Amino acid sequence: PSSSGGPIHTRATQPDIPAVHVNHFGKGRAAYISNPLYKLIKIPHITDHDTFPTKQHRQWPLSRAEGWLRDLTRELLDELAPGPPIRVEGPHHLESTFFEQDEEDRVVVHLINSTVRLLGKTYVIGPATILVRKDLARGRKAALAWPERRDLTATEKGEYLEFEVPETGVHQIVIFEPL
């Protein structure tokens, strides 16, 4: 991405409309990714050979655009908001959300398997890695809270603590709470 602002790519579905645009907004910067790029994910009968290892999985009607679009979005987020407090790395069909529960001084991470929504059937995916910035992790323990309860151990990785999470069926919940 261009840190000076302005279009990054100029060939989306129309040659005169930028596909991605980064601009100054208020005291920061904002990025716009055109909707036609996200429509590429829905193109039928394009297989995703990089995500799933078996021949059966390669026949799923997924778009190869999904991988590079995910990478583009990640790169834009890294540029606009470097050093996030929590980062999840995993298969393309793993979605995540984060919540703070102030009263319990707890952070909750939901890991959601989107294969059921996209394919009508759940295929186990994973594993995943949750990276928690050390200042957020300090004084907290990590545990898989659902579908089973089990403590997670950390490995140091630069300014983050790294937690390995097993395969995700439909949904998993990981919590970071006071020691």
pLDDT digits 0-9 by tens, 124-162:
998 999 999 999 998 999 999 999 999 999 999 999 999
Give pLDDT, residue 57.
43
Rounded Cα distance between 165 and 124, Å, is 13
Give pLDDT, residue 64.
55
Per-residue pLDDT of the chain (179 residues; tens, 9 = 90+): 444 555 444 444 456 677 888 999 899 999 988 877 776 665 443 344 444 444 444 444 444 556 677 788 888 988 898 899 999 999 878 899 999 999 999 999 999 998 887 777 888 998 999 999 999 998 999 999 999 999 999 999 999 999 999 899 999 999 999 99
Give pLDDT, residue 174.
97
Task: Give the largest Cα separation in the chain, rounded.
Answer: 55
Give pLDDT, residue 41.
63
Chain centre distance of CA 92:
8
Residue 127: closest CA among 151, 163, 158 = 163
Residue 19: closest CA among 72, 75, 70 = 72
Partners of 98 in the β-ladder: 109
The three-state secondary structure class of 129 is strand
